[in-house]
């Protein structure tokens, strides 16, 4: 992690509880802003960032998988709405006894990024904001041969906190909005 920056839109009311910094993954060629002092763990091959001592609360989950295409976009999965629906169905299949409610989908940069928002209805419902991107690959050789990666960044918050803590909602949306591939930096 590097490049300390300051959080939250100063034009909005509320406290500025977090200071953000850039989380840079040079191997996979992306960056996003995350709260300083959050800890990172790598369970099951993914990266999870969360506030120390806060388990089951708000968190960032990053997964990196090969993309089964050399295309520079996500259209191989259909449009963003189709992708969101298929992911919701997969989540339900992976979590028996749960349901998902897909709330919104969108795309950006000619389908290089898909966004979706959903609620996982379970014994403790969770709200998710997600961005999926088509990345360039893990190293210069992979990039030379256009071997792409699918980077998924999910921000999670207990559904009960969505109404009671708008600053946390704003923080997680800001994290999702900050995600970008390094090759797109200005």
User: Can you give the pLDDT at residue 136?
Assistant: 77
Q: From the CB of residue 15, how many other CB atoms can be counted at a distance below 10 Å?
A: 7
**What pLDDT does residue 142 have?**
65
This prediction has a pTM of 0.86
CATH class for the domain made up of 39-176: alpha beta
Closest CA to 59 of 128, 107, 118: 128
Per residue, the 3-state secondary structure of the chain, as one string, reads CEEEEECCCCCCCCCCCCEEEEEEECCCCEEEEEECCEEEECHHHCEEEEECCCCCCCEEEEEEEECCCCCCCCHHHCCHHHHHHHHHHHHHHHCCCCEEEEEEEEEECCCCEEEEEEEEECCCCEEEEEEEEEECCCCHHHHHCCCCEEEEEEEEEEHHHHHHCHHHHHHHHHHHHHCEEHHHCC
pLDDT at 148: 82
pLDDT confidence of residue 7: 35
Say what the pLDDT of residue 3 is.
35
Grouped pLDDT means (10 residues each) for the chain, 186 residues: 35 60 89 93 90 84 86 89 95 93 95 96 95 80 73 96 94 96 70
């Amino acid at each position: 992690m590097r490049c300390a920056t300051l959080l939250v839109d100063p034009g909005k009311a509320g406290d500025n509880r977090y200071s953000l910094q850039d989380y840079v993954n040079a191997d996979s060629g992306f960056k996003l802003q995350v709260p300083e002092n959050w800890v990172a763990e790598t369970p099951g091959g993914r990266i999870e960032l969360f506030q120390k001592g806060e388990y089951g609360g708000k968190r960032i989950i990053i997964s990196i998988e090969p993309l089964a295409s050399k295309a520079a976009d996500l259209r191989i999965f259909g449009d963003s709405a189709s992708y969101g629906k298929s992911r919701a169905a997969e989540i339900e299949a992976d979590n028996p006894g749960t349901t998902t409610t897909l709330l919104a989908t969108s795309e950006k940069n000619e389908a290089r990024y898909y966004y979706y928002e959903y609620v996982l209805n379970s014994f403790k419902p969770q709200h998710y904001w997600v961005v999926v991107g088509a990345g360039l690959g893990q190293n210069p050789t992979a990039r030379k041969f256009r071997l792409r990666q699918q980077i998924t960044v999910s921000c999670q918050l207990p559904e009960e906190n969505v109404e009671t803590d708008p600053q946390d909602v704003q923080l997680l949306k800001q994290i999702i909005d900050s995600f970008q591939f390094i090759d797109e930096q200005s």
